[in-house]
């Protein structure tokens, strides 16, 4: 009996291993997968289904994804000059993301028609140089918030207004996700404009929670002069510090558009695929996605408070 039992136990693993097929591991996600899933249906179909499912679980949309086709006709002619930010309905705000004003659509088409040439975008900037101001005591602490000591703006005032609109919209809608973004030099004040590698789609990767406060337990890291005075806590909201805006995708062959605009928070929670595969190991603590991984970096877009007693936010492109 003992021998029989021993043989049965020794044979069983062999039989199981002979018939057992080890499941294939989920492929590693690439930064391009993020953009493809936020593009046209044909682009989304190129992403491995298992990867797509995991990535989609990390999308937290500030504006609903996929508007109805009828929206495109009326909202593509919408102008930012028609009303102030506080006067717009939620639907009007959504439409301005799905189908931005004409000047934004023209920039998106220029990005594609130029073959993804950053110089084409640079030539739409006003050559006038604007000094970067002392933002809430930044110069007192030797803090340099921008890449250069001066900035520029687009020739089109509507384009500049649209950038302001995006910053304000992100801040206004962040609370619903538990993010609670504030427009200041420690939290949200900049984004990185890029042209996607695969299709030259125009996008901006915004970074909130830029300078968390030093804390011996929660965040014992010295980030330099610009961290001095920060009251931004290092907590679970850091997982959602990467916010992505994508312009509508113009067709290569017609005047039509392949996909609407997008505004989404990329959740980099530690148990998610973005944290695991997209964010470099050396910045896991900061949860930073880099624009250079999404496309060719073109300019930085900064939204800085130039006022004193009364806030006065202005765009500075560096």
- What does the pLDDT look like over 222-270, one tens digit per residue? 999 999 999 999 999 999 999 999 999 998 888 889 999 999 999 999 9
Q: Average model confidence (pLDDT) for the chain?
A: 89
Q: What is the mean pLDDT of residues 75-96?
A: 74
pLDDT at 80: 73
pLDDT > 70 fraction of the chain, expressed in percent and rounded: 86
User: Residue 7 pLDDT > 80, yes or no?
Assistant: no
pLDDT > 90 fraction of the chain, expressed in percent and rounded: 78
Structure-token match 């050559």, residue found: 127
Greater confidence, 6 or 318?
318
pLDDT confidence tier of residue 142, bands split at 50, 70 and 90: very high
User: Residue 13 pLDDT > 90, yes or no?
Assistant: no
Write out pLDDT tens, residues 173-208: 999 998 989 999 999 999 999 999 999 999 999 999
- Can you name the residues that pair with 262 across neighbouring β-strands? 246
Question: What backbone torsions phi and psi does residue 204 show, to the nearest 5 degrees?
Answer: -135, 125
∠ CA 165-133-156, rounded to 5°: 40
Residue 277 inside a domain? The answer is: yes
Q: 141, 226 in Cβ contact below 8 A? A: yes
Residue 252 inside a domain? The answer is: yes
- Kindly list the distances between the CA atom of residue 241 and the CA atoms of 116, 139, 204, 253, 266, in Å, as whole numbers in the listed order: 27, 25, 13, 36, 8
Residue 213 inside a domain? The answer is: yes
Residue 50 inside a domain? The answer is: no
Q: DSSP code of 276?
A: I
Report the number of distinct structural domains present in the chain: 1
Q: Model-level pTM?
A: 0.89
pLDDT confidence tier of residue 23, bands split at 50, 70 and 90: low
With the CA atoms of 140, 146, 148 and 149 taken in that order, what torsion angle do they form, in degrees rounded to the nearest 10? -30
Residue 299 inside a domain? The answer is: yes
Residue 194 inside a domain? The answer is: yes
Residue 28 inside a domain? The answer is: no
pLDDT confidence tier of residue 81, bands split at 50, 70 and 90: low
User: Domain limits at 214?
Assistant: 58-317
pLDDT confidence tier of residue 19, bands split at 50, 70 and 90: low
pLDDT confidence tier of residue 84, bands split at 50, 70 and 90: low
pLDDT at 309: 78
pLDDT confidence tier of residue 76, bands split at 50, 70 and 90: very low
Residue 271 inside a domain? The answer is: yes
pLDDT at 10: 35
Write out pLDDT tens, residues 303-314: 999 987 788 999
Enclosing H/E stretch for 316: strand 313-317
């Amino acid at each position: 009996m003992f021998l029989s039992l021993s043989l049965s136990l020794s044979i069983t693993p062999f039989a199981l291993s002979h018939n057992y097929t080890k499941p294939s591991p989920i492929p590693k996600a690439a930064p391009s997968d993020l953009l493809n899933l936020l593009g046209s249906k044909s682009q989304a179909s190129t992403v491995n289904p298992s990867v797509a499912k995991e990535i989609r679980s990390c999308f937290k949309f500030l504006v609903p994804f996929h508007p109805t086709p009828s929206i495109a006709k009326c909202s593509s002619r919408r102008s930012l000059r028609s009303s102030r930010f506080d006067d717009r309905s939620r639907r009007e705000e959504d439409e301005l993301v799905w189908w931005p004003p004409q000047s934004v659509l023209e920039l998106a088409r220029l990005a594609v028609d130029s073959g993804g040439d950053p110089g084409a975008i640079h030539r739409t900037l006003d050559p006038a140089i604007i000094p970067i101001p002392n933002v809430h005591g930044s110069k007192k602490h030797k803090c340099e918030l921008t890449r250069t000591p001066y900035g520029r703006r687009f020739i089109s005032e509507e384009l500049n207004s649209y950038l302001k609109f995006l910053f304000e919209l992100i801040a206004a809608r962040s609370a619903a996700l538990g993010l609670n973004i504030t427009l200041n030099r420690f939290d949200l004040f900049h984004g990185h404009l890029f042209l996607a590698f695969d299709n030259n789609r125009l996008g901006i990767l915004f970074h909130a929670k830029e300078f968390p406060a030093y804390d011996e337990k929660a965040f014992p890291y010295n980030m330099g002069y610009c961290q001095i005075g920060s009251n931004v806590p290092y907590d679970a909201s850091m997982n959602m510090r990467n916010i992505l805006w994508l312009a509508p995708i113009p067709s290569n062959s017609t005047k039509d558009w392949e996909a609407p605009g997008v505004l989404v928070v990329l959740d980099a929670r530690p148990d998610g695929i973005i944290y695991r595969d997209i964010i470099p190991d050396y910045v896991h603590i900061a949860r930073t996605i880099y624009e250079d991984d999404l496309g060719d970096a073109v300019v930085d877009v900064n939204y800085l408070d130039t006022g004193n007693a009364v806030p006065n936010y202005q765009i500075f492109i560096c």
